[in-house]
Amino acid sequence: MKKYKKIVRLIPLDQRRFKFLYIFSLILIFCLFGRLVNLQVFNASDLQRKARLLHSSKTNALKKRRAIVDRNNRLIAYDKPLYKLWAHPRYFNFPGDSINRVRSIEEVTDKLSSILDINGEILLSKFNNEMTGIKLLDKISEEKAEKIKNLQISGIDLFKYSQRYYPQGELYSNLVGFVNDENIASAGLELHLDNQIKVFNKSNLIKRGGDGTPLPDNSAPGDFVSDYKSLGLTIDSKLQKASFNALSKQVSKWKAKKGFAIVMDVNNGRILSLVSVPSYDPNKFWQYDSGLFRGWYSQDLFEPGSTFKPINLALALEEKVIQKDGVVEDIGKINVGGWTLSNWDKKGNGYIDYPKVLQVSSNVGMVKIMQNLDPAIYWDWLNNLGINKNLETDLFESTAGQLKRKDLFVNQSIEPAVTSFGKGFSISPLKLLQLHAALANGGYEVTPHVTSTFKEGVNNNNPKKQFFSHEVSKTVLDWMESVVDKGSGSGVKIEGYRIAGKTGTSQKALNGSYTLKKVCSFVATLPVNDPKYVVLVVVDEPSKSYAYGSTVAVPVAKEIIESLIVIEKIPPKIKDHGMIVKKP
């Protein structure tokens, strides 16, 4: 059979259809090109950002603030991890259940109540017929949170957060302060050193490959690890507790308004204990009056009274207007510029040497001594000591002391007269402490501080400032020792230890007039043979009779010094043959 080839007749393409396809193809190509340009040029940065998010994960560090520890690494403040418990009843499902099964609220609360130690009915009452986003509890411990996680109940969420906790309660509150419920620093070191306590992470992104595997990058080894650094204090918790107990007992006994006690190393300004009463529990700060949150030892001013007399004697010795073996006549009162000034007991003491001036706390003797010093030079000395300047420290921002203008001080004779026995000007307790530390360490200025990382701005071009010469400092310290041996500071005597001190009892001024309210104080330095520590106690407004520095402040100082001797292992002064040396 003969085969024939099939002939297909070709029909010419419709020109209109050809043009349509051609134009459509061009448009498609231009659209694709435009899209490519848009992605590669205009949206490149946004796409890179999205890609990084897909190939990286964000880590959230729990620690928000560094721990605060004492010099022996005892915890004072730290971030405690806690959990909030949320419920979504529409998703309640137990392990092993079918995917569509929804457990009842009662079944879930029954399992939770035993872990949380809370009545199931109380948990039930929190649902209020809602089916999602229900906050059941907060402040759940890590231990309980772990048990809840192990239940593996769908519809139960745990949100981790941190809360600041102060394990030593009121012992450090006036120093350390607190952070509020929103984790915002609100008082004390927490506020003043906020930037040092906050944790700033260098990085919190981890790069991952397509399968989720972490990829190496240029990050430092510690970039993704929680910050375990802490803020170290120079405070000793044992001494802090002993000081707090001694001060609290005396403030209560004398029904005083408040009290303050501090121990400092005279050679470097490190504070070993700092307490004030009344105090508060920083874990429950909302229960207390906000007035307790002030660091009044550096922010409030007072007239130092007789505790400033050793400073004035040092100035007189420096200017050589008195000699070490000189005497002064004290008849009990003196008239200055029409004003009659007298001793605290209204009695005279006759001719007395300068150690005796301190022993009996003679106001008249001090007026006569300082009258030998030109008022202009006297004012310049007070200004050089920084009486009217802020004290730079790592504690609360200090308040500058108040000193009369130089023209008033020079032209009104009563001003230098009252200043000679610690009246007519005011300073913070912390400033008084600094000046007595200078008397103890050979005349040098040191800055009181509580953080172990605190650095004074001292270098070869800016040497440490010297207030007094070594010889003058030693002389005044010996005179102050006689106050403990024979004068108003005898209550602080401890067998075998050489202690120098000075009591102070000053009236409080109100609207330009002195009131019956008092501030009782005592400052001590020990051991005199090798000065290392200065102790200052200030008790404000004791309300009982016979309230003086010797009766109110000295007993507190003695208890603190006894604890200090034990904690610092301060040896008694002994001779080569082992016998205790008693100063003649």
| pLDDT tens for each residue of 443-469 | 999 999 999 988 765 444 456 789 999
Catalytic residues: 306
Tell me the mean pLDDT in the region 68-85: 91
* pLDDT range class, residue 205, cuts 50, 70, 90: low
Cα-based distances in Å from 157 to 79, 111, 181, 251, 471: 22, 15, 22, 50, 72
Instruction: Note whether 79-163 and 237-567 share their fold.
Output: no
Q: In the prediction, which pLDDT does 2 show?
A: 57
Q: In the prediction, which pLDDT does 547 show?
A: 92
Are 432 and 308 in contact by the 8 Å Cβ rule? The answer is yes
Judged against a pLDDT cut of 60, whether residue 319 lies above it is answered with yes
The residue to which tokens 């009892």 are assigned? 505
Cα-based distances in Å from 221 to 201, 216, 217: 13, 11, 10
> Tens digits of per-residue pLDDT, 52-64?
555 555 555 555 7
Q: In the prediction, which pLDDT does 214 show?
A: 47
Q: Name the percent of the chain lying above pLDDT 70.
A: 86
Are 342 and 364 in contact by the 8 Å Cβ rule? The answer is yes
**Per-domain boundaries in the chain:** 79-163, 237-567
Tell me the mean pLDDT in the region 334-348: 91
Residue type, 343: N
Cα-based distances in Å from 274 to 110, 173, 259, 377, 431: 50, 10, 11, 35, 14
What's the CA gap between 114 and 33, in Å, rounded?
65
pLDDT averaged over every residue in the chain: 85
Q: Which fold has domain 79-163?
A: Penicillin-binding protein 2a (Domain 2) (3.90.1310)
Judged against a pLDDT cut of 90, whether residue 113 lies above it is answered with no
Q: Which residues are CB-contacts of 295 (< 8 A; sequence separation ≥ 6)?
A: 174, 175, 188, 276, 395, 396
> Tens digits of per-residue pLDDT, 149-193?
888 888 888 888 888 999 999 999 999 999 988 888 999 999 999
What's the CA gap between 196 and 68, in Å, rounded?
11
237's tokens: 């918790």
Superfamily in which the 237-567 domain is placed by CATH: DD-peptidase/beta-lactamase superfamily (3.40.710.10)
Closest listed residue to residue 231, CA positions, set 198, 278, 186: 198
Q: In the prediction, which pLDDT does 490 show?
A: 94
Q: Which residues are CB-contacts of 422 (< 8 A; sequence separation ≥ 6)?
A: 303, 304, 305, 306, 307, 308, 309, 312, 504, 506
Q: Name the percent of the chain lying above pLDDT 90.
A: 54
